[in-house]
């Protein structure tokens, strides 16, 4: 899945996703967090109230494994700990999808000169119904669990919505009950 002009970069805590020269790394993850029944967690951006999305975030280091980026970003943004008894590491799946999109001009100053595109790798994370969510209030205002089609409709980012719509196929491939 390659898509142009989609999800904008999110506000980063100081130093996060920034290389040694002080520029954001133009490689990130999108993590679709869902229950076995395909209810999807969406979080509302603090810097853009009314904009709902899945967990996203840039690599902290160019050599950071993508799964490590997912673990870090999910914990920072939702308080969900991948690798805990409730959410084992095997619950995180690389969907082997990538969105390539143009970085909005308003955020290009965060990247090295000449960088205009970001590559976003898509993952799915299955969590039990009732999983507690603790938001980082600097980044997100509210959260909600929605059936996957409603979640896709609520996302402001077309690439995020498209990823969520892959959930029934990719979830079935992972072998969990719907």
Give yes or no for residue 13 having a pLDDT over 50: no
The pLDDT confidence band at residue 18, using thresholds 50, 70 and 90, is low
How many residues comprise the chain? 178
Tens of pLDDT, residue by residue over 87-124, are 999 999 999 999 999 998 888 999 999 999 999 999 99
pTM of the model: 0.84
The pLDDT confidence band at residue 20, using thresholds 50, 70 and 90, is low
Instruction: State how far the Cα of 73 lies from the Cα of 82, in Å rounded to an integer.
Output: 10
Pick the closest to residue 28 from 59, 1, 72 (CA basis).
Answer: 59
Query: What was the pLDDT predicted at 134?
Result: 97
Give yes or no for residue 168 having a pLDDT over 60: yes
Give yes or no for residue 8 having a pLDDT over 60: no
Give yes or no for residue 175 having a pLDDT over 80: no
Mean residue pLDDT across the chain: 87
The fraction of the chain above a pLDDT of 90, given in percent, is 78
Query: What was the pLDDT predicted at 172?
Result: 52
Between CA 61 and CA 71, with CA 67 as vertex, the angle to 5 degrees is 90
Query: What was the pLDDT predicted at 170?
Result: 83
143 or 19, which is more confident:
143
Give yes or no for residue 4 having a pLDDT over 70: no
């Amino acid at each position: 899945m390659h898509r142009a002009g989609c999800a904008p970069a999110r506000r980063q805590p100081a130093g996060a996703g920034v290389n040694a020269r002080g520029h954001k790394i133009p490689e990130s993850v999108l993590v679709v967090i869902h229950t076995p029944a395909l209810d999807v967690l969406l979080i509302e951006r603090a810097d853009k109230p009314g904009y709902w999305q899945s967990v996203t975030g840039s690599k902290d280091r160019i050599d950071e494994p993508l799964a490590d980026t997912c673990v870090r970003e999910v914990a920072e943004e939702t308080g969900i700990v991948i690798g805990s008894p409730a959410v084992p590491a095997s619950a995180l799946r690389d969907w082997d999808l990538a969105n390539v999109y143009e970085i909005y001009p308003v955020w290009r100053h965060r990247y090295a000169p000449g960088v205009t595109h970001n590559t976003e790798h898509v993952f799915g994370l299955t969590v039990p119904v009732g999983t507690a969510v603790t938001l980082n209030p600097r980044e997100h205002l509210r959260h909600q669990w929605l059936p996957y089609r409603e979640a896709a409709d609520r996302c402001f980012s077309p690439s995020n919505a498209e990823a969520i719509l892959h959930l029934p196929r990719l979830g079935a491939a992972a072998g969990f009950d719907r």
